[in-house]
Amino acid sequence: MIKVIRASLLFLALGLFSQIAPADEYQDAINVFRNAGESSAYFDNSVGYAIFPTIGKAGIGIGGAYGKGKVYKDGKIIGDTSMTQASIGLQLGGQAYTQIIFFENDAALNDFTSGSFEFGAEASAVAITAGASASANTAGSSAGISAGKNDASNKSLGYRKGMAIFTVAKGGLMYEASLSGQKYSYEPLK
């Protein structure tokens, strides 16, 4: 019975956080990263990016996250993508965040758009926040604070395996010490 309640709460929370974003919400999310410190330079130094205006994440012992996005190459949309994450461990709460993944070269973009891509536990994101939030990565999340959205910095020393990930918190609160993995799907435009 407890498992059913937990699963119901998880799906309810994910439903609240993960909405299909209208086209202008994609541009709004892109503008946040264009105007945020070091992440802005990645637009000029990458072949493309995947943007997720809203990723919803929730957990009570067992957790998950989901978000829909679009993939861009040379400033043009080339397809749709979605992210799913499952986690297990000490966690409680829910949060929503915006995420962008920059692709350093065609090889990284091709790897991501091959159909079904997974990040290993070593992948991490740089949080760009205006207050307390969380840094999303495939090994869990951690709290962080910065002065504002224009104070982005990439402490991971640039690209890792051809990709750089940044996040901006939108809301919620989640305590987490868990093991998780992110899986991305891709569908080219027709």
Residue 129 and residue 146 in contact, taking contact as beta carbons nearer than 8 Å = yes
pLDDT in tens, 82-95: 999 888 887 888 88
Mean of pLDDT values over 147-155: 42
* Torsion angles phi and psi, residue 126, rounded to 5: -95, 125
Report the alpha-carbon distance of residue 144 to residue 171 in Å, rounded: 13
Percent of all residues in the chain with a pLDDT value above 90, rounded to a whole number: 37
Residue 168 and residue 32 in contact, taking contact as beta carbons nearer than 8 Å = yes
pLDDT in tens, 46-70: 999 999 999 999 988 888 899 999 9
Residue 177 and residue 142 in contact, taking contact as beta carbons nearer than 8 Å = no
C-alpha closest to that of 141 among 66, 82, 183, 89: 89
**Considering just the CA atoms, what is the radius of gyration of the chain in Å?**
16
Report the alpha-carbon distance of residue 64 to residue 14 in Å, rounded: 8
pLDDT at 39: 86
Quickly state the pLDDT bin for 32 (edges 50, 70, 90).
Answer: very high
C-alpha closest to that of 129 among 152, 154, 106, 95: 152
